[in-house]
């Protein structure tokens, strides 16, 4: 394989990975829109709206990077790294968890998703650094995207105690007023 063939193959593979990040951001936009509509914590809603706008900028940066490398930006979505509960467990959760409990569960999933996005950008940055050359141009925009993802993950971690303080009394009240308390073995 010639040096030109090797460089072209590296470029194609990097474009493929950038498109993977783009597909992840596309799915993230959809998830954020859903979370904004369902969240019951106004501070979380505001933070998600802010991150939604950041995510739109991430998509634009990725589109520009992919195009500048001669690629075609992918418009599809990728599955986000969220837990998939066994059906019986999911049904029990659906039948027993209150809205505040689901808010906390969704917040856990938000943290998983934001952390995964951050890791994806970290790996892309490291690959661009090793590859050098034309890939160096990707480092700054990918670093900006990674920083936003890290900031969102940190916001969730930092604000979890606040969310717990706000939601826990309602959870306790809901449990105390439920007609039947599930047994401990369930």
Show the domains of the chain with their CATH numbers. 3-170 (1.20.1260.10)
Query: What's the pTM value of the predicted model, to 2 decimals?
Result: 0.89
For residue 39, what is the enclosing H or E element? Answer: none
Alpha-carbon distances, residue 82 vs 129, 159, 171 (angstroms): 29, 20, 23
Q: Give the tens place of pLDDT for each residue, 3-44.
A: 668 889 999 999 999 999 999 999 999 999 999 999 999 999
Tell me how far apart the alpha carbons of residues 120 and 107 are, in angstroms, rounded to a whole number.
20
For the chain, counts of helices (H) and of strands (E)? 5, 0
Compute the half-sphere exposure of residue 124: CA atoms within 13 Å on the CB side of its CA. Answer: 31
Q: Give the tens place of pLDDT for each residue, 74-104.
A: 999 988 888 889 999 999 999 999 999 999 9
**What pLDDT is recorded for position 182?**
52
Q: Cβ distance 107 to 163 under 8 Å?
A: yes
Q: Give the tens place of pLDDT for each residue, 132-145.
A: 888 999 999 999 99
Give the pLDDT band of residue 184 (cuts 50, 70, 90).
Answer: very low
Tell me how far apart the alpha carbons of residues 117 and 106 are, in angstroms, rounded to a whole number.
16
């Amino acid at each position: 394989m010639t040096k030109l063939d090797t460089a072209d193959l590296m470029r194609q593979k990097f474009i493929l990975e950038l498109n993977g990040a783009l597909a992840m951001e596309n799915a993230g936009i959809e998830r954020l829109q859903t979370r904004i509509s369902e969240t019951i914590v106004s501070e979380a809603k505001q933070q998600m709206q802010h991150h939604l706008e950041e995510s739109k900028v991430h998509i634009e940066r990725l589109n520009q990077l992919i195009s500048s490398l001669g690629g075609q930006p992918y418009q599809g979505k990728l599955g986000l790294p969220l837990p998939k509960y066994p059906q019986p467990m999911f049904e029990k959760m659906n039948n027993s968890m209150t809205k505040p409990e689901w808010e906390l569960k969704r917040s856990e999933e938000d943290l998983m998703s934001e952390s995964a996005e951050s890791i994806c950008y970290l790996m892309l940055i490291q690959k661009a650094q090793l590859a050098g050359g034309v890939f160096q141009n990707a480092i700054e925009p990918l670093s900006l995207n990674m920083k936003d993802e890290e900031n969102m993950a940190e916001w969730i971690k930092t604000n979890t105690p606040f969310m717990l303080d706000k939601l826990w009394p309602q959870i306790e009240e809901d449990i105390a007023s439920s007609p039947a308390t599930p047994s401990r073995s369930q």
